């Protein structure tokens, strides 16, 4: 990675760092619940009947509910984020949704004391989900709109690194609690309360970053947009590169305004060159959620128990290692390969690798099932260790394609005028299928056993691999070039518009400079 490029774009990296603290919440909140419910103290407090017995079906049902209600709230938060961010801007929308999340986190944390039951966790998860859904839709758009095209894929890909860090933190916090505090309300209060830390960092940080230049330009605040763009690029406002990029933004916005005056939902979704983008945004997240990673991520302790890692300590430690591999693999890919390998190639290799490994895991689990008599905490069999290793390699393949790239790709393809709708639909699709997967995974594990890995393998190779081959490549193209790629405007029309707009901006700047210097010139002529 070019050090000069990192320094040049350091303000954009800082903006992404701040905005994506909310994405740590995304990863943390989705990863923490499965581990909390698997703790014996939680089950004894919330799930035991009057005789102190805990039914396996009750654990399965509550586990799926606690994990999935977050996704249900996130679905509505993602949908509602579009009109809010279009009206109030990306920055203040993120601040608003982070406050909503804080309310949900507090409700989850105070559950289980003073007569507060499981309903507080359910309600808090729904409210927090609304906040996370809005953040997950707005943050990628905000970061993408502020990033130069040369490093946009890398910076936007930080999203998935933050998700992976959040998931990893949830695994190790649950593991630490299992080791050192296995009884009492703190078993769930510490993991749920920790959510307030990244939420607070994000809220404070957002007051020190700039609003999106592209959003400002859509609201007619051109001079403020130009100042923000120059600030983010570390250049003077008169710099030729900054003025050309501003001209591209203005040209794209003007084209969209002329072509879609009185834009409604029908025109936004079915306007020229738009429908295929929305289809891609919906389908790419459908496949991402059904690739198997979220089932492993949300229910990692249960998955590792199923392949032979018995006992909370064994399963949570194996889950933590899974989280570390995911973070490292995602970071390596995002910083060194996302802008060199291309979107299509990375997605295709990722899908094929995941599918092949799942086929192997399914075959091993079928032929070498873990012994039912294995005691809690006992060393797992050799076959179980092999399957765990396969899962670690699997998540590395996930992290080099279908983990970070769907967000990068969807952030790439939408024009400014409809980007908030596109990101909202993509995020809603992500959360909709996220909800379905998280709700059904415990049931699928209980009913299918080893066949769940074969099912996910077929989806990876039969669906995702083929899909990767048919979508267009977006690497190295500016956001404004996407209209040309998807047929909304011809290359000739776009070039003519950019040149005309650049001349207009230069003329306006020249007039402004002339007016500001006129009093001084007159004074000198009188002396």
DSSP 353: H
Radius of gyration of the CA atoms of the chain, in A: 25
Task: Say whether pLDDT at 259 is over 70.
Answer: no
Give Cβ neighbours of residue 430 (< 8 Å, ≥ 6 apart): 78, 136, 285, 288, 289, 406
Residues 66 and 192 sit within 8 Å (Cβ to Cβ): no
Inter-residue contact 155 to 20 (CB < 8 Å): no
Q: What is the Cα–Cα distance from 462 to 439, expressed in whole angstroms?
A: 24
Q: What is the pLDDT of residue 263?
A: 58
pLDDT of 6 above 70: no
Classify the C-alpha dihedral 341-342-347-348 as positive or negative: negative
Res 267 pLDDT > 50: yes
- Quick: pLDDT tens for 292-319: 888 887 777 778 877 777 766 677 778 8
Distance CA 362, CA 307 (A): 10
Most confident of 200-214, 334-348, 498-512: 200-214
Query: What integer is the mean pLDDT of 98-105?
Result: 93
Q: How confident is the model at residue 105 (pLDDT cuts 50, 70, 90)?
A: very high
Q: How far apart are the first and last CA of the chain?
A: 57
pLDDT of 524 > 50? The answer is no
Q: At what angle do helices 118-146 and 186-193 cross, to 10 degrees?
A: 20
Give the whole-angstrom CA distance, residue 344 versus residue 352: 12
What are the Cα distances from residue 98, in Å, to 111, 165, 199?
21, 18, 6
Q: Which stretch of DSSP H or E encloses residue 134?
A: helix 118-146
For 56-81, the pLDDT digits (tens) are 778 888 888 888 898 889 888 888 88
Q: What average pLDDT does the structure give for the chain?
A: 83
Band of residue 182 on the pLDDT scale cut at 50, 70, 90: low
Q: Residues 106-142: pLDDT tens digits?
A: 999 998 888 788 899 999 999 999 999 899 889 888 9
Among residues 320, 298, 64, 73, the alpha carbon closest in space to that of 173 is found at 320
Contact 166, 28 (CB under 8 A): yes
Does the pLDDT of residue 502 top 90, yes or no?
A: no
pLDDT of residue 416: 66
Residue 342 confidence (pLDDT): 80
Q: Which contiguous run of DSSP H or E holds residue 26? A: helix 21-38
| pLDDT at residue number 313 | 64
The pTM assigned to this predicted structure is 0.74
**Predicted pLDDT of residue 525:** 42
Taking residues 388-404, report their average pLDDT.
89
Which of 294, 264, 25 lies closest to 135 in space, CA to CA? 25
State mean pLDDT over 457-484.
85
């Amino acid at each position: 990675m070019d050090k000069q490029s990192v320094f040049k774009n350091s303000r954009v990296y800082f903006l992404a760092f701040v905005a994506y603290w909310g994405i740590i919440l995304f990863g943390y909140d989705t990863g923490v619940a499965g581990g909390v419910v698997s703790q014996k103290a939680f089950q004894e407090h919330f799930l035991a009947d009057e005789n102190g017995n805990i039914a396996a079906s009750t654990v399965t049902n509550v586990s799926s509910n606690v994990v999935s209600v977050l996704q249900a709230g996130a679905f509505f938060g993602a949908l509602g984020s579009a009109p809010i961010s279009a009206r109030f801007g990306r920055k203040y929308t993120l601040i608003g949704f982070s406050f909503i999340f804080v309310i949900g986190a507090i409700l989850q944390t105070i559950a289980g004391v003073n007569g507060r039951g499981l309903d507080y966790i359910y309600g808090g998860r729904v409210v927090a989900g609304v906040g996370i859904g809005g953040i997950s839709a707005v943050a990628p758009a905000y970061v993408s709109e502020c990033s130069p095209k040369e490093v946009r894929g890398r910076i936007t890909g930080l999203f998935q690194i933050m998700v992976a860090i959040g998931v990893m933190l949830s695994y190790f916090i649950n593991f630490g609690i299992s080791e050192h505090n296995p009884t009492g309300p703190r078993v769930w209060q510490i993991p749920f309360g920790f959510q307030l830390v990244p939420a607070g960092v994000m809220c404070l940080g957002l007051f020190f970053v700039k609003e999106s230049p592209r959003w400002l330009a859509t609201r007619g605040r051109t001079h403020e947009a130009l100042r923000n763009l120059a600030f983010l690029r570390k250049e003077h406002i008169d710099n030729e590169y900054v003025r050309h990029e501003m001209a591209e933004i203005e040209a794209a916005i003007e084209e969209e305004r002329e072509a879609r005056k009185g834009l409604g939902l029908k025109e936004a979704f079915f306007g020229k060159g738009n429908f295929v983008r929305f289809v891609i945004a919906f389908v790419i997240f459908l496949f991402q959620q059904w690739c198997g990673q979220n089932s492993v991520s949300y229910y990692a302790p249960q998955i590792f128990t199923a392949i032979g890692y018995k006992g909370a300590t064994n399963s949570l430690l194996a889950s933590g290692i899974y989280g570390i591999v995911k973070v490292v693999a995602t970071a390596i890919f995002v910083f060194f390969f996302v802008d060199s390998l291309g979107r299509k190639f990375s997605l295709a290799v990722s899908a094929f690798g995941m599918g092949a490994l799942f086929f192997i895991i399914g075959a091993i689990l079928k032929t070498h099932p873990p012994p039912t008599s294995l005691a809690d905490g006992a060393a797992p069999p050799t076959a179980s260790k092999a399957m765990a290793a396969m899962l670690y390699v699997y998540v590395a393949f996930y992290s080099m394609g279908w983990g970070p790239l769907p967000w990068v790709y969807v952030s790439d393809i939408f024009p400014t005028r409809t980007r908030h709708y596109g990101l909202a639909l993509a995020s809603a699709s992500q959360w909709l299928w996220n909800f379905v997967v998280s709700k059904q995974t415990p049931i699928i594990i209980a009913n299918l056993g080893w066949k769940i890995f074969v099912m996910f393998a077929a989806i990876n190779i039969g669906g995702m691999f083929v899909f990767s081959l048919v979508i267009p490549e977006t690497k190295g193209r500016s956001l404004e070039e996407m209209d040309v790629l998807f047929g909304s405007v011809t290359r000739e029309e776009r070039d003519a518009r950019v040149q005309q707009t650049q001349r207009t901006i230069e003329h306006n700047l020249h007039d402004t400079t002339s007016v500001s210097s006129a009093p001084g010139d007159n004074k000198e002529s009188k002396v």
